[in-house]
Amino acid sequence: MKENAEQKSGHVTTRRLLDMKQNGEKIAVLTGYDYTIARILDRAGIDVILVGDSASNVFSGHTTTLPITVDEMIYHARAVVKGVQSATSRAMVVVDMPFMSYQLSEEEALRNAGRIMKEHECDAVKMEGGSSIAATVRRITDAGIPVMGHLGLMPQSIYKYGSYKVRAQEGAEAEELMKDARLLEESGAFAVVVEKIPSALAGEIARSLTIPVIGIGAGVECDGQVLVINDMLGLNREFHPRFVRQYADLNTIIEDAVGQYLEDVRSGDFPSPEESY
């Protein structure tokens, strides 16, 4: 069915991402958490929509990604998949496996990855970790579920790190990260996200792997880039990390629009006769 979709509409697949890397075409990824935004992203031509567990922060208002559940991820994923179901849709949908949905055992991980795939027909799942999850990645990919890895700053381990600072700045951690990236590729991952690591290291990883390396705060040498949609649209005034380029100021646009609406309602200017029956 996905093959038909690819032939008909150019739906992005794991194969397509690999071809893009081989052809030197950069891969553009954004997060998405609902139907309306997913439709806009897909129509704009985005390659991959990541239903990130950052939904925990930007959608639900938690301070970390830890509280979000498998059921909540499925709720967001279902809405996003509905947004990319037209005949001309092309965006691939990747869904984050939330904290503690894949760490307990391979069986549990496979069951949860299976639920995420089955309950809304997304294209792939994403998991954080290197050597600690390699066997699980193998198990899940062997079951036919594509897995995207995530290395560097891994927000699900924030209490272990104690801060959101740049990772792998010194030799031992950089070497470990390179090893983990290779291990994820060997274990069957189709792509890997690297978050908040030095550009030179990200470039080295991208050159040494066959699979695409998607960066966030990891410089231009990656095979593609990912940003959290709320950050790049300027929906959060309080969050301005260096790696986010803000493409719009929706916070101000929404505030101004709501301010105008308040004025119009209070003054009796809205609704006009033309806006009434």
Q: Verify whether residue 128 is a known catalytic residue.
A: no
Q: Is the dihedral of CA 183, 104, 111, 120 positive or negative?
A: negative
End-to-end CA distance of the chain: 47
Minimum Å distance from CB 150 to ligand KIV? 6
C-beta nearest to ligand KIV: residue: 52
Comparison of 245 and 266: residue with beta carbon closer to ligand KIV: 245
Minimum Å distance from CB 274 to ligand KIV? 43
Residues in the chain: 277
Comparison of 39 and 150: residue with beta carbon closer to ligand KIV: 150
3-state secondary structure 182-225: HHHHHCCCCEEEEECCCHHHHHHHHHHCCCCEEEECCCCCCCEE
3-state secondary structure 12-40: CCHHHHHHHHHCCCCEEEEECCCHHHHHH
Site residues, ligand KIV (CB under 6 A): 31, 50, 52-54, 96, 150, 193, 216, 226, 228
Nearest of 262, 76, 94, 64 to residue 189 by alpha carbon: 94
Question: 18: how many CB neighbours lie within 10 A of its CB?
Answer: 16
Minimum Å distance from CB 22 to ligand KIV? 23
Whole-number Å distance between alpha carbons of 51 and 61: 16
Nearest of 149, 211, 151, 185 to residue 20 by alpha carbon: 211
Comparison of 5 and 26: residue with beta carbon closer to ligand KIV: 26
Comparison of 42 and 231: residue with beta carbon closer to ligand KIV: 231
Minimum Å distance from CB 74 to ligand KIV? 15
Comparison of 35 and 270: residue with beta carbon closer to ligand KIV: 35
Say which of 128, 185, 195, 204 is annotated catalytic: 195
Minimum Å distance from CB 129 to ligand KIV? 12
217 neighbors 241 (Cβ within 8 angstroms): yes
Active site residues: 195
